[in-house]
Amino acid sequence: MNTQHWINHFEANTRLNHELLLPDTACDLPEHVRTALARSIAIFQLGESGGGTRLRRYTRSIASLENLKGYQRAVDLFVAEEQSHAALLARTVTHLRGTLLQKQWTNSIFRWMRDLVNLEFNIQVLLTAELIAEVYFGLLSLRCSDPVVQTVAKKLLRDEMGHLSFQRDFLFERLKTLTPAVQRLWRWQFQAIHLATACVVSWDHRDCLRRLNITPADFRSRAVRCWQSFQSRLERRLCESTALDGSRVYSPTVSV
């Protein structure tokens, strides 16, 4: 894994988030849209505001692996970028005259799940949230007319796409050591957890989605397509790696 690439990426990108200038305009969304949107974004803001304690604890267990050298530093910077997202979303909630949350039931479940198994499962839960966030911020950037919301949504959408690549690089390093049968088992449980999460989020944010003319069913459909795109890229890398390893093992030696 090219951890130095991600260290450089997060160092530069997090600084851009801190320096991002938002349009100096008052929110003029209709009241029923503003209140639903403020609550919805406040839930995402709470999810981005964690300190990464569990993730950092897990990464220490693999810090000595040669193929993941520097991963611990990259994760520290990744957590810092997530916190910069929380700050941007807090500014957005304030712009919408909403209230920041200290606790929320879906966020509590999410945090509980992350601590269930090991680093790989922790990353998978994070990844599931980021796949959902890609759909959510993509829709906000398209369907919400407020300039501040659009600016933040577009920036976070770009960042989440980078996060997906970061997590895919890590999962590739871990999954390539497993047998094809175990890889399939992992895929099935990942797919099931992602679909369940998409259903919960589409229900919990249904008022906001409908105010933006998005049905919960459409949100779930987009989330499934996003997962399929991520998974197909991951599996393509795994197949290419297997083929390459096979050619190295079985290709005949050429005598000169």
pLDDT tens-digit series, residues 45-79: 998 987 777 788 888 888 788 888 999 999 999 99
Exposure letters 161-200 (e unless 16+ CB within 10 A, then b): ebbbebbbbbbbbbbeeeeeeebeebeeebeebbeebbee
pLDDT of residue 117: 65
Please state, in angstroms and as integers, the Cα–Cα distance from residue 16 to each residue in 12, 87, 131, 148, 166, following that order.
Answer: 7, 12, 22, 16, 18
Q: What is the pLDDT of residues 226-236, one digit of tens each?
A: 999 999 999 99
Cβ contacts of 52 within 8 Å, gap of 6 or more: 75, 76, 78, 79, 82
Mean pLDDT of the chain: 90
pTM of the model: 0.90
Residue 195: which pLDDT band, with cuts at 50, 70 and 90?
Answer: very high
pLDDT reading at 224 higher than 90: yes
Q: What is the pLDDT of residues 117-159, one digit of tens each?
A: 677 888 898 999 999 999 999 999 999 999 999 999 999 999 9
Nearest to 40 by CA among 112, 151, 136: 136
